[in-house]
Homo-oligomer: A and B are copies of this chain.
Amino acid sequence: MFSPQPVGYVRSPYKKTDEIPKGLGAKHEAEGVLEILPQFEAGLTDIEGFSHLIVLWVFDRAQGFELVGTPPCDNRPHGVFATRSPRRPNPIGLTVVELLRREGVLLHVRGIDMLDRTPILDVKPYLSSVSPELLRRGWLAEAEAARVK
């Protein structure tokens, strides 16, 4: 395996977990900054050309993990690998953000759902999407349908 090291930190408007929009239909329109550490700046070369980025980060304020849990948007329990729960065997979060602009080591982005000062593990270009017609969203689609009724 390897020893995770932060390549930067998130600057987010959210200081506490309960400030982050959660559950069905939650919109993640918050703007924030991915602040990359100076020693990794060269790794950002040409990143400006991508409209969307995948950010991998650490749920650094989550404690332990839970294999089955009930998410905020449903009243039924689901397996951790079928949810985005923070309490995972490896506490890695994933967020797709829109890149608004770069200023040196600062990536200004939209779509932040992390807490302020969250350690960033990796940034990757978002290259392709699954076609919406092919996508099935399991219990989440059922929970949404149940709410609409």
- What 7 additional pairs, Cβ within 8 angstroms, besides A2-B58, A49-B82? A4-B90, A5-B90, A43-B67, A43-B79, A43-B89, A51-B135, A82-B125
Q: Determine if A92 and B68 form an interchain contact, defined as CB atoms under 8 angstroms apart.
A: no
Q: Determine if A2 and B4 form an interchain contact, defined as CB atoms under 8 angstroms apart.
A: yes
Q: Determine if B1 and A79 form an interchain contact, defined as CB atoms under 8 angstroms apart.
A: no
Q: Determine if A46 and B139 form an interchain contact, defined as CB atoms under 8 angstroms apart.
A: yes
Assess whether A54 is interfacial by the CB under 8 Å rule: yes
A20 to chain B, nearest CB (A): 16
Q: Determine if B89 and A122 form an interchain contact, defined as CB atoms under 8 angstroms apart.
A: yes
Within 8 A of B (CB), among A7-55: 7, 36, 40, 42-54
Assess whether A132 is interfacial by the CB under 8 Å rule: yes
Give the A interface residue count (CB, 8 A): 65
Known: A2-B58, A91-B2. A84 touches B135 (CB 8 A): no
Assess whether A100 is interfacial by the CB under 8 Å rule: no
Q: Determine if B139 and A51 form an interchain contact, defined as CB atoms under 8 angstroms apart.
A: no
A48 to chain B, nearest CB (A): 7
Assess whether A6 is interfacial by the CB under 8 Å rule: yes
Q: Determine if A90 and B124 form an interchain contact, defined as CB atoms under 8 angstroms apart.
A: no
Listed A/B pairs (17) with beta-carbon separation below 8 Å: A2-B90, A5-B89, A5-B90, A49-B137, A49-B138, A50-B82, A51-B130, A52-B136, A56-B94, A81-B125, A83-B125, A88-B122, A90-B121, A125-B137, A127-B137, A128-B135, A129-B132
